[in-house]
Amino acid sequence: MTQVRNVAVLVGSLRKDSVSRKLAKAFAALAPANLKFDIVEIGDLPHFDQDLESDPPAAWTAFRDRVAGADAVLFVTPEFNRSVPGALKNAIDVGSRPYGQSVWNGKPGAVISLSPGTVGGFGANHHLRQSLVFLNVPLLSQEAYIGGAFALFGETGELVNDSTIDFLRAYAAAFADWIERIAPAVEARKAA
């Protein structure tokens, strides 16, 4: 029997009616049943400042604990100025400290970027991957760029584009397989 895996989801957009959040929820609904998704909010994280590390803000500690407790991490992000939104970069920085205690280290991950244009957040996806590789997040090598994002959802927020549904279902299955390939090694290191 396949083990249930908890996936922390970081949504790069803070907007209440964010298509990134809608896509993250649609992805969770299409994923294999053994993956349980938890959207970890990043909007209220104080900006990373090394001087605060001696007495870290409670929001930092809570964020780090939730991500550390997850088996894997999924990033769903729009593109801002050909890069990742500032709040998402801040969350990555907060989770990477204190030095030597990064919550990202070895955790299997995947990135989905989206945009209203046709490029699908290519720049954000690659900038995010650059940081995550440095932080030793083994990333699913299959890339996910979703273009035309505003046209993918119906009036009540449901995903209505059949080809996107098929793509996300296949991507979720690949992510589940990736987690099963990587997570046991991470668990063995923790137990040692």
**Domain locations in the chain as residue ranges:** 5-191
* pLDDT at res. 77: 97
* pLDDT at res. 191: 74
Amino acid at 155: E
The whole-angstrom separation of Cα 48 and Cα 45 is 8
* pLDDT at res. 185: 75
* pLDDT at res. 1: 47
The whole-angstrom separation of Cα 27 and Cα 9 is 11
Question: How does strand 35-39 pair with strand 5-11?
Answer: parallel
* pLDDT at res. 36: 98
CA 85 to chain centre: 13
* pLDDT at res. 62: 98
Question: How does strand 144-146 pair with strand 72-78?
Answer: unpaired
User: Residue 92 burial (CB < 10 Å; 0-12/13-18/19+)?
Assistant: buried
* pLDDT at res. 154: 94
Q: What is the pLDDT along the chain (192 residues), one digit of tens a residue?
A: 478 999 999 999 999 889 999 999 999 999 999 999 999 999 999 999 999 999 999 999 999 999 999 999 999 999 998 889 999 999 999 999 999 999 999 999 999 999 998 888 999 999 999 999 999 999 999 999 999 999 999 999 899 999 999 999 999 999 999 999 998 777 777 777
- CATH of the structural domain 5-191, one choice from 3.40.50.360, 3.50.50.60, 3.90.1300.10, 3.90.230.10: 3.40.50.360
Torsion of CA 128, 136, 60, 89, to 10 degrees: -10
The whole-angstrom separation of Cα 172 and Cα 178 is 10
